[in-house]
Amino acid sequence: MIANTPQPPYYAVIFTSLKTPDDQGYNEMAKKMASLAAQQPGYLGHESARDGVGITVSYWRSMEDIRNWKQVSDHLAAQQLGIKQWYSAYKTRICLVERDYGFEKQG
């Protein structure tokens, strides 16, 4: 559930959102988009959590891969539905991951 990304540099898209009360169809679409993203060239992984605010971070090889994913037609349709129905606000941040480090308990 922590994305197994390669050595930096690589890119991250931080998508932070607040939902409207009407989230009919949202979970299904979120799963579909996660699965579709994973099939795109340059996809490196993603992490997602929601309690109140939702944060989804997806990781990509390059800015061009991010641009291409933004334009995939089923994804464009989902973005439109998000604005029309599911989200009261969101912010997308495109970032260059310069360094990373971590820790994992053994056993």
Does the footprint of a copy of itself cover residue 101 (CB under 8 A)?
A: yes
What minimum distance in Å lies between the beta carbon of 40 and a copy of itself?
A: 19
Question: Cα–Cα distance between 11 and 7 in angstroms, integer?
Answer: 11
Question: What does the alpha-carbon distance between residue 61 and residue 73 come to, in Å, rounded to a whole number?
Answer: 21
Determine if 97 is a binding residue for a copy of itself (CB under 8 A): yes
d(CA 104, CA 93): 27
44 touches a copy of itself (CB under 8 A) = no
Considering only 6, 16, 25, 31, the residue that binds a copy of itself (CB under 8 A) is: 16
